[in-house]
Structure 1
Amino acid sequence: MTAETKKLRELITEARFVLFDFDGPICRLFAGHTAERVAKDQVRWLEERGLSGLLTDEERAEPDPQAVLRAVDRRHPAGDLVIELERRLTLQELRAVESAYPTAHVDPLIRTWHAVGARLAVATNNSPLAAARYLTKRDLAECFAPHIYGRTQDLSLLKPHPHCLNRALSALGAEPSETLMIGDAATDFRAAESAGVRFMGYARNERKEEVLRKAGAEVVVESFEPILEMLRGRRR
């Protein structure tokens, strides 16, 4: 058994509470409704109102709609413009749910973890409405409900701020030392560090793994299948 496999088994067996990031670990939200197109729509919406000057050239080319939203919020924090952009992004995420693609092995992983007694929550920078709609569509909502914590109109509280993790910990009555966060971004790792919870990275490709390792993640998996097998072994 390698040191990382041993650490992974330790994380799994000691986790009484599990917090999942949404887009990435649970599904590819923009699998059929690309995030880049949504980001371009946001930029176009700003340009049509004569507000393209709010963004740098680099930000206008940004393929991540969350990054565009954050950029505008840095110039006009908590203003009506940001509130409208956030509302438009929420609508796009709700549409994207219809073509979102589940991450391999995660549906049975969630059900099995729930069945062995772990308490689960979602802690995401996406809209909690989109996460709830997706989980309902996949018949997974009962494994989490009502613990779905996501983006609010106060964008300063997005991860890496630990706000959504702390909300989950408080609502679950969870001890950070007994809690595992599963995420696919450096912001997930930093939020977990700030909240004092353990972290496991999920990386669907080498680029994602490199980002997580560079951030400081010690345990990164490319598939949930070995974790599912560990949990099924516990259940037996």
Structure 2
Amino acid sequence: MTSDATQTGQAASVIEKVRNLITGAECVLFDFDGPICRLFAGHQAHQVADSLVDWLEKRGRHVLLTEEELASDDPQDVLKAVARMHPGSDLVEALEEKLTREELRAAATARPTPYADPLIRTWRAVGSRLAITTNNSPLVAEQYLTGRGLADCFRPHIYGRTTDLDRLKPAPDCLNRALTALGARPAASLMIGDTPSDLIAARRAGVRFLGYGRDQPRMERLHKAGADTVVDDLGQVLHLVRTLGRA
């Protein structure tokens, strides 16, 4: 079999896997930063992470990050690290509030993920119930979705970070809250996420998982974590939802 034929066969296999995942999905849970938008597209994530570290150091606090956290440049990892060191403290609460303010600033320049807007509207139009399940502040998701005219597709089912950081994904808390509020069966629900923590949370909640990676490294990270179906283009998902909606 030629290389082109192999790639065509692999693409067809992925499309069939996606079709199987979305067929009968009564409820779709979207992670926010990644599948819906690039929150820090115009407001660099590593700069926000650095600003949180600087804020801590000015208060005489130093944070020890793991090698994985240092490599991710995710400001939420700074928050998690402080929560490990000072669980339930006023410092954690203040840092969470600062991160929320940074996320709200970033939302103004967030870049929509290609095809995410029509995918959300189409899924809602064909009768699926939608929810946001994110480690970002729910205030941030609400602000962004309102600006895009998408909030009514989800409202009031936007579940995000609380001050209890033990409930952040990979814990399934925000997924379980969404499923309970929607009265949804986990086995008939689907989550779209872009990180291994999304995958783990979906598994713990008993929900199907569709991985989204906007580039090869992100796709490989999901595959390495055990995701069976990963796409780099939501356009093919949109096409399948439209096709199934007309069936």
TM range (shorter): over 0.9
Give yes or no for the alignment of 1:41 onto 2:51. yes
Q: Matches of 1:227 and 1:57 in 2, distance apart?
A: 35
Aligned length: 235
Give yes or no for the alignment of 1:128 onto 2:166. no
Say whether the 8 Å CA contact 1:39–1:62 is kept in structure 2: no
The C-alpha deviation readout for 1:175-229, integer Å capped at 9, x for no partner, is 0010000000000000000000000000001111111001111000100111111
Say whether the 8 Å CA contact 1:120–1:143 is kept in structure 2: yes
The C-alpha deviation readout for 1:83-114, integer Å capped at 9, x for no partner, is 00000000000111100000000000000000
Q: Matches of 1:203 and 1:93 in 2, distance apart?
A: 21
The C-alpha deviation readout for 1:15-37, integer Å capped at 9, x for no partner, is 11000000000000000011111
Q: 2:196 aligns with which of 186, 190, 213?
A: 186
Residue 55 of structure 1 aligns with which residue?
A: 64
Say whether the 8 Å CA contact 1:176–1:196 is kept in structure 2: yes
Say whether the 8 Å CA contact 1:186–1:212 is kept in structure 2: yes
User: Over aligned residues, Cα RMSD in angstroms?
Assistant: 1.5
Residue 74 of structure 2 aligns with which residue?
A: 64
Gaps of 5+ in 2: 1-8
AA of the residue aligned to 2:222: L
Residue 55 of structure 1 deviates from its aligned partner by: 2.3
Residue 4 of structure 2 aligns with which residue?
A: none
Q: Identity of paired residues, percent?
A: 59
The alignment's TM-score, normalised by the length of structure 1, stands at 0.96
| Higher deviation after alignment, 29-38 or 6-15 | 6-15
Distance 1:60 1:48, change over 3 A: farther
**Secondary structure at the residue paired with 1:121?**
strand
Q: 2:106 aligns with which of 78, 87, 96?
A: 96
Residue 5 of structure 2 aligns with which residue?
A: none
Residue 235 of structure 1 deviates from its aligned partner by: 3.2
The C-alpha deviation readout for 1:92-143, integer Å capped at 9, x for no partner, is 0011110000000000000000000000000000000000000000000010
